[in-house]
Chains A and B, each alone.
Chain A
C-alpha cells in the first residue's frame, strides 16, 4: 500500500515518455530525445516541441484534473457514483466551446475556443454559487449541478439544431468527442495555470474529506469548516475541469472510474485517494491518448470515445463485482 504513490508516479513518467516517443512521424528514439532536449535537428524539433510535447503535457494535466476532481467529488458527496461533471462545469465549458464553433469565432482566432469554454465554465460556477448558496448542503449542490448540466446540454443541442453549416455541425460533434490532437504550447500556457490552481485547491481538502466519512455533523464537530470546504471544492473543480474541457474536450469516465479502481489500494481513505487519483487519472488519459495513435493512426480516433469504450465496460465489471460482494 505504501508503494501505491511511487508506482503510480513511475507509471505516469513512463507513459509521458511513451507519449513523447510514439506517433505517426515514426521518429527514432535517440533522434527524438536529442531534438527535444537540444532543440537541434530541423523538422524533428518541430514535431517534438510543437506537437508531441504539448499533447503529452495536456494529457498529464487534464488526466490529473479529471482523476483528482472525481476523487474529491466522490469524497465530498460520499457517493462512489459522483463525477466531476456533476456540478455542471463540463457541460457549461462544452457549451462555450460549441458556441465559438457555431459562430465561427473559433475559426477567426486560435484561442477563441478554449477561452469561450473557460467563460462557460466560469458562468456555470457563478450560477452554482448563486443556487447552492453559502449555507446550501450537498443536495442543493447536486440539484443545481444537474439543472445547469441539463440547461447547457439543451443549449448545445439547440446550437447543433440551428447550425446552418453542416461542416460547423460536424466540427462540433467531433470536438465534443474529446481529443488532444493538434494542441499547441499556447493551449498549455492557457490551461496550465487554471489546472494547477484547481489541483492545489483540491489536494488541500484531504483532512476535511476524511472527517466527512463520518457525516457532516461529525466533521463539523471535529473542527472542519464545511462552508469553506464546499467553496474550495467547487472553485477547485471548476478551475481544473473547466480548463481541461476547454483544451481537451469532454473526455468522460476518467473521473468516475479512476477513483474506483484506486480506492482499495489506499485503504479507502479519502485523503490518500486524492494524490493517487490525480496520478491514476494522468496515467489513464496518457495511455488512452497513446492508444488512439496506435489503434487507428490514420482515422483520428477520438480520445473521449476511447475512454468511454474502455471505461464503461470496466465500470460494469466493477459493479458486477460489487454486487457479488454485497449479496
Chain B
C-alpha cells in the first residue's frame, strides 16, 4: 500500500507547466529528498500533490476529502508563518486540531525536536531557526503516515539540521515516510534513502543518492561539480565548483 502516488502530475502557472508530467510512488519507510535548482518546481510539486494548487494528472492525496487528507499527510510550507504570539506548546498542538488529543503526540513531537524547554515561550519571540523547529514539531504532532516538508532545514544551525534529518530518517525507520525538498545536497546524500531530481518541472532522476548525484546529472541540472567519498561515517558529498 503506497502512501503517495502521482500519475503524470502537471501544474501550470498560466499556460506554462511548472511541474510537467511527474509520476512516482512513495512506499512506507522512505525518506525522499526532493532536489533541484531554484525554480525547478519543487514547491509546486508538493503543493500540487496535496491539492493546494489546481493540477492535471492524478495525485492520491489530492483525491482525498480534506479531513482524510489531513490524516494521511502533514505539510510544512516553505513560508514559515506564525501570525500570533501563541506559546510553543499551543502551536505544536495545532497539529492535533480535529483529532482526538491526549497530549502524548504533542509531548512526543516536542521531545523529538528537543523543544521541551521551550513549551511556554512565545513562538513569535523565537529566532528563525527555532521557529522552524517548532513548525517541524507541529507537523510531527499531526502523526500522519506521510510528512511533506518544503525546505525544512533551510536556515537551521548545523546541529538542528542534522537533528531534523535524523528525525525524518527515524520516522522512515518506523515505517512512516517523508518527502522533503532540500537544497543542501550533502545532507540529502547522507540522510535520504531516495532522491528525486527535478529540472524545469520534469523528474529527470529517481533513485538512491549514489544513483542520482552523478557527475552527468549534477552538470545537467545544477551546472555544478562535486566531490564524493564513502567514509566510515557514511557517504559524503560536497559541491565544489560551478561549471557554466
Contacts and interface: CB of A to CB of B under 8 A. Distances in A.
Contacts of A225: 66
A263 B69 CA distance: 32
Contact of A217 (B47, B67, B91): B47
Task: Count chain B CB atoms within 10 A of each CB in A207, A212, A267 and give the residue with the most.
Answer: A267
B70 interface: yes
Interface in B124-145: 135, 138, 142
Interface in B66-125: 66-67, 69-71, 73-77, 79, 81-87, 90-91, 94-95, 97-98, 122
A207 B82 contact: no
A164 interface: no
A200 interface: no
Contact of A223 (B66, B84, B85, B87): B66
Q: How large is the interface on A (under 10, 10 to 19, 20 to 34, 35 or more residues)?
A: 20 to 34
Interface in A219-247: 220-225
Interface string A101-116: 0000000000000000
Contact of B75 (A207, A213, A218, A268): A218
Given A217-B52, A218-B76, A224 B66 contact: yes
Contacts of B79: 215, 217
A31 B121 CA distance: 54
Contacts of B122: 268
Contact of A211 (B52, B76, B77, B97): B97
Contacts of B138: 214
Contacts of B66: 220, 223-225
Nearest to A222: B70
Contact of B97 (A78, A217, A222): A222
Interface residues of B, number: 32
A270 interface: yes
B240 to A, nearest CB: 35
A213 B91 contact: yes
B70 A270 contact: no
Interface in A173-232: 207, 210-215, 217-218, 220-225
Contacts of B77: 214-215, 217-218, 221
Contacts of A217: 47, 52, 75, 77, 79
A213 B82 contact: yes
A269 B95 CA distance: 14
B160 to A, nearest CB: 19
Given A215-B81, A218-B76, A218-B77, A210 B52 contact: no
Contacts, number: 77
A214 B84 contact: no
Interface in A140-165: none
Contacts of A268: 84-86, 122
A207 B73 contact: no
Contacts of A269: 84, 86, 90
B83 A212 contact: yes
Given A214-B82, A268-B85, A270-B84, A222 B50 contact: no
B98 A223 contact: yes
Interface string B51-76: 01000000000000011011101111
A7 B45 CA distance: 50
A224 B151 CA distance: 23
Contacts of B74: 221-222
Contacts of B75: 217-218, 221
Contact of B69 (A210, A211, A212, A223): A223
Nearest to A79: B83
Contacts of A222: 70, 74, 94-95, 97-98, 142
Nearest to B87: A267
Interface in A40-88: 78
A111 to B, nearest CB: 41
B72 to A, nearest CB: 10
B143 to A, nearest CB: 12
A232 to B, nearest CB: 15
A117 B84 CA distance: 35
A92 to B, nearest CB: 28
Contacts of A207: 97-98
25 contacts: A78-B83, A207-B97, A210-B97, A211-B94, A213-B81, A213-B82, A213-B91, A214-B81, A214-B94, A217-B47, A217-B52, A217-B75, A217-B79, A218-B75, A220-B50, A221-B50, A221-B52, A221-B69, A223-B66, A223-B67, A223-B69, A225-B66, A267-B86, A269-B86, A269-B90
Given A214-B82, A218-B76, 7 more contacts: A213-B83, A214-B94, A217-B77, A218-B77, A220-B66, A221-B52, A223-B67
Interface of A: 78, 207, 210-215, 217-218, 220-225, 263, 267-270
Q: Ordered nearest first, which 6 A-B pairs have the shortest CB separation?
A: A223-B70, A221-B75, A215-B81, A78-B83, A217-B77, A268-B84
